[in-house]
Amino acid sequence: MPPKLCALCSTARAIIRRPKTGQQICKDCFFWVFETEIHNTITHAQLFRPGDRVAIGASGGKDSTVLAYIMKTLNDRYQYGLELFLLSIDEGIKGYRDDSLETVKRNEVQYGLPLKILSYDELYGWTMDRIVEKVGRKNNCTFCGVFRRQALDRGAASLGVDHIVTGHNADDIAETVLMNIMRGDIARLGRCTQICTQGEDTIRRSKPFKYAYEKEIVMYAYFKKLDYFSTECIYSPDAYRGHARAFLKDLEAARPSAIIDIIHSGEAFEVADEVKKKLPRLCKRCGYIASNDLCKACTLLEGLERGAPSLGIKDRTRASAEDLPDHFRTIPQFHMPDTSQHKTVAPSTTPLTSDTLATTATSPS
């Protein structure tokens, strides 16, 4: 039996079956369609403007490594006019993050992108290893998620960037939709499926991989022979997200479109006014965006400093902006960056769309 030809170019041998569509295609066509889909996502959502300084959240894992490679590739191919940076957060997890950061440092050289590393220890005075010693493994991901989000904003502010991009893929977003439904947190459904979010006092953040399947990201990294760190966080197996992930994998096995279907369902939710979250304000202690007097990071950090870490998880409304003892560690004041002085390309008021970009790129077939 002759080899099956690529469904797209009809010349090369098909060696890949796309999990997302079921198409059997050759390696070169897979690279092209995967990159083009990300480009179309970026231009359709008008994520960037020429001259933007963009920080790529880089953990050394497959998603962020592929994101860094793709962003550099598309920026060069379609002349986005972006200034790209790698931004890594060191949570302080021995045997995991210290090793993965070595991968990020190699990516810095491989892709020729400047790298900024900000650690929990530097910002909060605590590492995740120390936090887990205090709280155990039941709620450690709550601390890590809250601290990492603010650390990304603070690292980006120090770089003077306009925009943060993260490697959250379609599987991640579908898992988040399921988690919010299972926890009854319907108010978050309106935000968790947004490709781009920005508050008045936070840096613009987006997910170019919103519609990219995790399996295809892994295939892309494998066939491109990208340098990434593949070990899972030693604390994540106990995370609540794991239950949503296992459920989603079962759904995907029965119906591959389930991932995108769940995302579209989340996008279609209309949340009643009475269940919407309170309007955000600024933390009275550190100046970061918050929904109460103190932001969640300050609340959690105060709990750690007081030796009662569970207080910040169980009842954040008890926290107040009262003065703390001098020996307590607090988070430095947050200030939005002034990006105007860093511009190397005159910023455009016109977002990047398929109509405004150069059309010199051609298909490999």
Per residue in 313-353, pLDDT (tens digit) is 765 555 566 778 888 999 999 988 776 655 555 455 577 77
Question: CA angle at residue 233 from 251 to 73, to 5 degrees?
Answer: 75
> Would you say 340 is a known binding-site residue?
no
Question: CA angle at residue 252 from 247 to 254, to 5 degrees?
Answer: 100
Structure tokens at 157: 């502010």
> Would you say 88 is a known binding-site residue?
no
Strand pairing category for 196-197 and 204-206: antiparallel
pLDDT for position 320: 62
For the chain, which ranges sit under pLDDT 50?
Answer: 346, 359-360, 362, 365
Q: Give first-to-last CA distance, the chain, whole Å.
A: 24
Torsion region of 22: left, alpha or beta (phi above 0 gives left; psi -120 to 50 gives alpha): left
> Would you say 93 is a known binding-site residue?
no
C-alpha torsion sign, points 257, 260, 264, 266: positive
pLDDT for position 365: 44
3-state helix, strand, coil split of the chain in percent (to 5) is 45, 10, 45
Strand pairing category for 204-206 and 281-282: unpaired
DSSP state of 334: P
> Would you say 59 is a known binding-site residue?
yes
Task: Give the whole-angstrom CA distance, residue 73 versus residue 224.
Answer: 12
Please state, for a pLDDT cut of 70, what percent of the chain lies above it.
88
pLDDT for position 130: 95
pLDDT for position 316: 52
Strands (E), 26-82: 53-57
Main-chain phi, psi angles of 175, to 5 degrees: -60, -40
pLDDT for position 359: 47
Residue 121: exposure state from Cβ atoms within 10 A (0-12, 13-18, ≥19): middle
Other CB atoms within a 10 A radius of the CB of residue 82 amount to: 24
Residue 37: exposure state from Cβ atoms within 10 A (0-12, 13-18, ≥19): middle
Structure tokens at 137: 């493994």
Q: Identify the bridge partners of residue 290 per DSSP, sorted by sequence position.
A: 281
Task: Give the whole-angstrom CA distance, residue 97 versus residue 33.
Answer: 32
* Predicted confidence (pLDDT) per residue in 154-184, tens digit: 999 999 998 999 999 999 999 999 998 888 8
> Would you say 320 is a known binding-site residue?
no
> Would you say 22 is a known binding-site residue?
no
Other CB atoms within a 10 A radius of the CB of residue 245 amount to: 18
Q: Which residues of 211-238 are buried (b: 16+ CB within 10 A; e: fewer)?
A: bbbbbbbbbbbeebebbbbeeebebeee
Task: Give the whole-angstrom CA distance, residue 135 versus residue 171.
Answer: 29
3-class secondary-structure state, position 244: helix
pLDDT for position 46: 94
> Would you say 57 is a known binding-site residue?
yes
Instruction: Determine the distance from the C-alpha atom of residue 329 to the mean position of all C-alpha atoms in its chain, rounded to a whole number.
Output: 27
